[in-house]
A and B are shown apart, each in its own frame.
Chain A
Amino acid sequence: QKEVEQNSGPLSVPEGAIASLNCTYSDRGSQSFFWYRQYSGKSPELIMFIYSNGDKEDGRFTAQLNKASQYVSLLIRDSQPSDSATYLCAVDNYGQNFVFGPGTRLSVLP
């Protein structure tokens, strides 16, 4: 059974700080990794995806992937109160379905 683990939080950071969200996955065969943001009562929205080892930057967001350690992270620079949400890590299951972690709640304090 594939597993994706995340700290449930809440992770609290002050406005303007860097928020670091972590995710580990159990299956070394996974190839594709995704970060979604979900506001309370809303559906998940895609933030970033990463396929290769290393860093991928998009605006204030950086995804980091280390397949050897089976670890993927999301950094949010210059955190804003509007970034307060649950962040879901998702991993592909051999190109079939996607396995989601339980999510990490992020709270950015003004």
Chain B
Amino acid sequence: DTGVSQNPRHKITKRGQNVTFRCDPISEHNRLYWYRQTLGQGPEFLTYFQNEAQLEKSRLLSDRFSAERPKGSFSTLEIQRTEQGDSAMYLCASSLWDSLGPVISPLHFGNGTRLTVT
């Protein structure tokens, strides 16, 4: 179990540029989540995948944000035409979902990607 891996750790970009983040989940986990966190706030849900299917996308997520998880392995989160309000920590997490179980297993987070838009 090597944990959830996120790259890059930090990204500084100019307003209007596109950025892409990568997340490699724990290998046996079938669910992958993206959250965003700003200073003093709890993580805010963006989207999640079960295997390769994107099952939910937050209404707060604008059309500038897109996420993929090809082949149900790693995932990418792309932000187009970045704005200063996009500056945040982007957190990826994974979990093992068992549809037969009554409860959900915990999220395991990566180290996050800190985005600064200047």
**A-B contacts at CB below 8 angstroms, number:** 60
Among the stretches A13-21, A38-46, A70-78, the one at the interface with B is A38-46
Which residues in A have some Cβ–Cβ distance to B below 8 Å?
Answer: 4, 8, 31-32, 34, 36, 42-46, 49, 51, 88, 90, 92, 95-103
Which residues in B have some Cβ–Cβ distance to A below 8 Å?
Answer: 33, 35, 40-45, 48, 55-56, 89, 91, 97, 102-104, 106-112
- Choose one: A46, A90, A97; the contact of B108 (CB below 8 Å): A46
Asked if residues B102 and A100 are in contact (CB atoms below 8 Å), the reply is no
Asked if residues B107 and A34 are in contact (CB atoms below 8 Å), the reply is yes
Asked if residues A100 and B42 are in contact (CB atoms below 8 Å), the reply is yes
Residues of B within 8 A of A31 (CB): 102-104
In the assembled complex, the Cα of A44 lies from the Cα of B42 at a distance in Å of 10
- Decide yes or no: A43 and B107 within 8 Å by CB, A96-B48, A98-B33, A98-B45 being known contacts: no
In the assembled complex, the Cα of A42 lies from the Cα of B6 at a distance in Å of 13
Asked if residues A43 and B102 are in contact (CB atoms below 8 Å), the reply is no
Closest residue of chain B to A105 (Cβ to Cβ) is B40
Q: Which 6 pairs, one residue from A and one from B, show the smallest C-beta to C-beta distance?
A: A100-B42, A43-B109, A97-B45, A32-B103, A51-B103, A43-B112
Residues of A within 8 A of B112 (CB): 42-43
Residues of B within 8 A of A34 (CB): 106-107
B45: min CB distance to chain A, Å: 5
In the assembled complex, the Cα of A95 lies from the Cα of B112 at a distance in Å of 23
B22: min CB distance to chain A, Å: 15
Asked if residues B55 and A96 are in contact (CB atoms below 8 Å), the reply is yes
Asked if residues A95 and B110 are in contact (CB atoms below 8 Å), the reply is no
Asked if residues B45 and A43 are in contact (CB atoms below 8 Å), the reply is no
